[in-house]
Amino acid sequence: MTRNKEIKEKIRGNYQSLPPNQRKLADFFIENFDQIPFHSVYNISEATSMSVASVVRFSQRIGFKGFLEMRNEISGELQEQIKNNVIFPLIDDKTLRDDTLTAVANHDIKNISDTLNLIDRNNFDKAVKLILNSERVFTTGLGISYLLSEILAYQLKQVAVDAYNFTHNHTSFIEQIPFLKKKDLIIAFSFPPYSKETIEAAKYAKSKNVKVISITNKIAAPISFSSDVSLIVRSKNFLFTNSFAAVSVLINSITTECARLSKNRTKKFLNELNNIVDQQNLVIPDSSPKK
């Protein structure tokens, strides 16, 4: 575990015991982690509307003598990451935003770039392993998260994972969880404004010893405290909704890795599926002239 990951885990571990005002500082540190070495204690005080003394006390709660020691630790580790090409910038700040299409595209590229830096590769590998070792996978979420959970369930089915999306019509998520077994898995999407029903479903699943993977926007998101693995995705948007560009990349990466690690199972499933499609004539051939 890198020193930076240790610091993030310390912040997350102390998060629920922090006073409300210091949780604001915890959010700022986690969401702007790579920028901390460039901030003074006064910058952070101004950005969070917290006193300098509060910033110092927060650093001490995390296990440092003060803000300077914490900043120096983060700075040293980030320099090592840059040397080892762990950080993957995709665009620079000089990219022109001369129209809406360009602006939105660049914004989503930034989301993807940030997500590459936010997602811990060990957590990603652990999430894929949980998926492949589960008997059944259930995806869940509300709002735009419901659509994303449907897409993930569909994609996983295409690579021979027995996946289903929790419905949300005449039954709530809570009413469906009692049917889960210990070898099942829940993948929950949770983005602001966080759905209480999704969070409670994750808590209840956890109490039944069902493994939970959360896909959310920050390490201290409410659902993360009921998750075995949290995958952090940047979802900032110009509108009041969440952008799902980076989430789509993550979904595609998860399913691709599942297929890569279980080639034989995936191949067998696809061959069987293709045979059924051919036998039932379920696909209309393309009649356009070939070039």
- If asked whether residues 229 and 162 sit together in one domain, one would say yes
| β-bridge mates for residue 29, sequence order | none
Query: Do residues 244 and 235 lie in contact, with contact meaning Cβ atoms separated by under 8 Å?
Result: yes
Final residue belonging to a domain, choices 60, 83, 106: 83
78 pLDDT band, cuts 50/70/90, is: low
Identify the bridge partners of residue 188 per DSSP, sorted by sequence position. 140, 214
Side chain identity, residue 178: P
Whether 181 is in a domain gets the answer yes
Same domain, 150 and 223: yes
In the Cβ-directed half-sphere of 213, how many Cα atoms lie within 13 Å? 25
**How many domains is the chain partitioned into structurally?**
2
User: What is the CATH number for 17?
Assistant: 1.10.10.10
**Number of residues in the chain:** 291
- For residues 215 and 134, membership in a common domain is answered with yes
- Closest by CA to 15, choosing from 25, 1, 2, 5, is 25
CA nearest neighbour of 7 among 58, 83, 82, 42: 58
Q: Structure tokens of 242? A: 């969440």
Give per-residue pLDDT as tens, 124-178: 999 999 999 999 999 999 988 899 999 999 999 989 999 999 987 767 787 888 8
Q: Residue 4 and residue 157: Cα distance in Å, rounded? A: 36
Same-domain status, 134 and 269? yes
Mean pLDDT lowest among 34-43, 44-53, 77-86, 203-212 = 77-86
Position 105 in a domain: no
Q: What is the pLDDT of residues 188-227, one digit of tens each?
A: 999 988 889 999 999 999 988 999 999 999 888 899 999 9
**What pLDDT shows up at residue 248?**
94
Q: Which one, of 266, 229, 235, lies nearest residue 248 by Cα?
A: 235
Residue 126 in any domain: the answer is: yes
Domain limits for position 170: 118-276
Whether 79 and 122 share a structural domain: no
Contacts of 227 (CB under 8 A, 6+ apart): 188, 202, 206, 212, 213, 214
Q: Look up residue 50 and give its amino acid.
A: M
167 with 261, same domain: the answer is: yes
Q: Please tell me the distance from the alpha carbon of residue 166 to that of residue 79, in angstroms, as a whole number.
A: 43
